Amino acid sequence: MLTIYGVYRSRATRPLWLIEELGLPHRHEPVIQAYRLPEPSAADAPFNTRSPEFLAINPMGSIPSMDDDGFVLHESLAITLYLAKKYGGDLGPKDLAEDAQMVQWALFSATSIETPALDIQKAIGDGLSETTEGKAKITASAGDLERPFDVLEAHLTAHSHILGDRFTAADIIVAEIVRYAQGHAPLFASRPALKAWLEACQARPAFKVMWEKRLREPA
């Protein structure tokens, strides 16, 4: 049985969205981040990233983790790419070149987009978008995203999806990272291809199912 460890309010959305797309039978263990709990080591604390049972699975205490019939893997990008290759069909790579392109776009998004995009999400989520400090943080982070977002805009102007002409796990990975900056509309107003692509990804039934499950979790 395929098991995914990690709450939906985490990077676990990446493999969990793919699982919804594929209709894969699986078990979901909602391991919550220890920093979100007042007493993660308390006897009555929920299953969390500092629980001894989870640390026996992932000594780093990070989510998500995966157990696929005894094969244990950590890190959301690695898990998503593994599932795409093993179970993905058309959502996975067709050949070595597509495999390399999936890895390229995953690493591009994680290294060039994720940190400033998360900073934007956090500033907005913390209610700081109208404060001097928050505006400065958002402006600086948006500036860091200009170049990688321009790269995506040019690519998506020429191609309907990240891997050319079909939806794949690469779209899931990149969309879930770009999503962090979605609350800052000016980044998308000047990039219609990127905006339309992200909206199309999020209009997919599997995304909506995943997102509804995420919304049902405690914030």
Report pLDDT for 180. Answer: 98
Report pLDDT for 68. Answer: 98
Mean pLDDT by 10 residues, the chain (219 residues): 98 98 98 97 96 98 98 98 97 98 98 98 90 91 97 98 96 98 96 98 98 95
Report pLDDT for 210. Answer: 98
Within this chain, do residues 113 and 59 fall inside the same structural domain, yes or no? no
Between the alpha carbon of residue 175 and those of residues 6, 99, 128, 196, the distances in Å are 19, 18, 24, 11
Dist CA 93 CA 191 (whole Å): 27
Within this chain, do residues 114 and 190 fall inside the same structural domain, yes or no? yes
Within this chain, do residues 199 and 98 fall inside the same structural domain, yes or no? yes
Count Cβ neighbours within 10 Å for each residue of 101-128 and write b for 16 or more, e otherwise: bbbebbebbbebbbebbebbbebbeeeb
- Contact (CB, 8 A) for 85 and 93: yes
- Contact (CB, 8 A) for 92 and 85: yes
Out of 41, 68, 90, pick the residue that ends a domain. Answer: 90
Out of 90, 119, 150, pick the residue that ends a domain. Answer: 90
Within this chain, do residues 149 and 60 fall inside the same structural domain, yes or no? no
Out of 90, 123, 151, pick the residue that ends a domain. Answer: 90
Question: Is 62 part of a structural domain of the chain?
Answer: yes
Q: Which domain holds residue 55?
A: 2-90
CA angle 151, 152, 156 (to 5 degrees): 125
Dist CA 194 CA 215 (whole Å): 24
- Contact (CB, 8 A) for 79 and 111: no
